[in-house]
Amino acid sequence: METKHEPAEESVDGPYYLEKVYIPEDSEDDYQYEEVMADDDISMTEGDEDLEAAVKAVRDCADDTDMITQRISSVKQPVSHIPETVDDFFRNFLVKMGMSRTLDCFQTEWFEMQLKGLLKIGQVDFVPDAYSHNQLLDNELRNVKKERESYKQAALKAAETLVKLNKERDFHRMQHKRVVQEKNRLIEDIRRLKKHYASYEPAFRQLTDKYQASLKQRMLVSLERDRVLGHAHNLQASLRNAHSSPGVRCAPKQGNDKTQQGVEKGPKPQNNNGSPCIPATDLSTNTKHPKDSEFPASSRVNPYLPQIKALLAQGNKGSCFSLTTSIKAHSMPISCLAIHPRKMIVATASDDHHWRLWGLPAGEMIMTGEGHSDWLSSCCFHPNGGGLATTGGDTTVRIWDFSQGRCILTLEGHTHATWGCSFHSSGDFVASCSMDNTAKVWDLNSERCRYTMRGHVDSVNSVAFLPFSNTLLTCSADKTLSLWDARTSLCAQTFYGHQHSCNHAVFNSLGDTIASCDSYGVVNLWDVRKVSAMLSVDTGPHPSNQVAFSPCGRTLAVASNDGSVKLVELASSQVTSLVGHEDAVQSVIFDHKGEILMSAGSDGAILVWS
């Protein structure tokens, strides 16, 4: 506030007084501003009052207002709070408390010291805003109390959680101890049970051996019974023939058999019907072994012809096969299948050096044999069903006896791997073929090679006896098939027509037709009497590994290298495929009635089609 100084200057020591004055609010720059009314910018004359002018004026006013608002907002700055000085604080305090006389005394002494220059302005400082500080402190205190309460609650919750966790820890620790105790107890029980069951293993092994032995014995007894029954039927038939026409069978032998020479050199052996027969001369050697067997007469009649004719009368069922059973027989490829002469038992020969017997349709393994030092290539049942012949890569031919469960004869003479074997219907001879370009006929009684068929110029891949005859069929990689007289080892006929290596050849059940296949999948049918090709069917381009006639002779099964079995209807030359193997099919065979077809291949499985 400003006061009037003139009376004070007249007499310094004289009396003074307070006077109320009014100070005009003049501008500091002493500039005379002209007052402008707010309505001047938008005022219009009476002549300009129209709609367009009014709209334009309103828009201009709105734009100016926006610009002013933006300018004010841009230049507006925050106002800082300036604390009060000490004297103002004291005056405000006295006014607030109503102490006017004390305020007058303070004012008088304050301004008197200011006029005399006794007041030290530099010592006058701002008074801290105690109220605001108290408020801030109060707020801080309140916040601190809230935080303290929250921390207290959190601490209480943490304490409760800690107590709960301690309880859970103790519980789980107790459970862990209990589980450890139970585990130790179970380990002890298992160890005790293992020790207890270990004592049963010898008993189980003994029972298993007894079961296998009884199963084998049952099989052998069944085979022996069938053999005895067959022998009895043969004896009865021989007796009937002997009573009806005695001495008739020996008459043609003396004049028609080319191999029966030198009758006077030894005693005549007896055949099945008791009549004397002239023995055959061993053409391969000049000396005759005392145990040499004699080939039977070549004019025998196939006793199964009535059954074959009955099957022919039933009609053809070759195109109705479907997969019914799959047997995992070996872990390595199966090279050959052979069926028992009278029972539904199949023999398999495999690259794992084993042969096995399987009962069908159950697919249970009956017997297994091991003896070859290399892979097996072929197998063939003995005509009486009590033995098996096998060939393999070790160049040998082995004869197995089921009753003894072992190999009873090993025939050695080939110089390379043997590919196939076939029993003579008498059971005294077995023929084999080899990669050494020869086929051999072995005498099982004298245990030696009787004849060697030489004539092929490449590997002989298959060999087969014509049922109930002395004729031998061979096929070779030199693309030819040959018919041999097993008694003389002479080639009777040769079939030409294949353009590639011939893999397999077989007779039909009547013996008047031959089927053969080659390495390009071509299958040929040959007429034995005309020595000419009857039919040629191309099942390629994959090789055909084996062929098999159905018992009725109307369907031909072909084992193809593409993993399928080809069925050829001979009447129409129609070819159908049976797909099921995962690898090449190596062997096919029909059952005795032609209702079931079995195939085996490089996947080690036997597939049964019916």
Give pLDDT tens digits for 142-154: 999 999 999 999 9
Question: Which pLDDT tens digit goes with each residue over 374-418?
Answer: 999 999 999 988 899 999 999 999 999 988 888 999 999 999 999
Average pLDDT estimate for 459-476: 92
What is the pLDDT at residue 540? 79
DSSP string computed for 19-32: ---------TT---
**Residue 296: closest CA among 269, 274, 271:** 271
pLDDT confidence band for 137 (50 / 70 / 90): confident
Structure token pair of residue 516: 């053969």
Domain architecture of the chain: domains with CATH? 305-609 (2.130.10.10)
Question: Cα–Cα distances in Å, from 370 out to 212, 223, 375?
Answer: 17, 21, 11
Mean pLDDT is highest, among 15-24, 206-215, 537-546, for 537-546
Percent of the chain whose predicted confidence (pLDDT) is above 90: 40
Better-predicted residue by pLDDT, 95 or 38: 95
Does residue 467 contact residue 302 with C-beta atoms inside 8 Å?
yes
What is the pLDDT at residue 571? 87
What is the pLDDT at residue 310? 73
Average pLDDT, rounded, for the chain: 80
What is the pLDDT at residue 141? 92
Residue 163 has pLDDT above 90, yes or no: yes
Average pLDDT estimate for 16-37: 56
CA–CA distance, 347 with 329 (Å, rounded to integer): 10
Does residue 318 contact residue 553 with C-beta atoms inside 8 Å?
no
What is the pLDDT at residue 308? 74
What is the pLDDT at residue 511? 85
Structure token pair of residue 207: 């029972």
What is the pLDDT at residue 459? 92
Better-predicted residue by pLDDT, 389 or 52: 389
pLDDT confidence band for 23 (50 / 70 / 90): low
What is the pLDDT at residue 225? 80
Residue 13 has pLDDT above 70, yes or no: no
What is the pLDDT at residue 80? 56
What is the pLDDT at residue 495? 93
Mean pLDDT is highest, among 58-62, 225-229, 462-466, 486-490, for 462-466
b/e sequence 153-175, b meaning 16+ C-beta within 10 Å: eeeeeeeeeeeeeeeeeeeeeee
Residue 35 has pLDDT above 70, yes or no: no
Does residue 576 contact residue 566 with C-beta atoms inside 8 Å?
yes
User: What SS3 state is found at 82?
Assistant: coil
Does residue 210 contact residue 367 with C-beta atoms inside 8 Å?
no
pLDDT confidence band for 165 (50 / 70 / 90): very high
Structure token pair of residue 44: 């219009």
- Record the pTM: 0.56
Q: Give the β-pairing of 522-527 and 345-350.
A: unpaired
Better-predicted residue by pLDDT, 466 or 38: 466
**Residue 339: closest CA among 318, 321, 307, 361:** 361
What is the pLDDT at residue 83? 59
Contacts of 510 (CB under 8 A, 6+ apart): 305, 308, 553
Percent of the chain whose predicted confidence (pLDDT) is above 70: 77
Question: Which pLDDT tens digit goes with each residue over 253-273?
Answer: 333 333 333 323 333 333 333
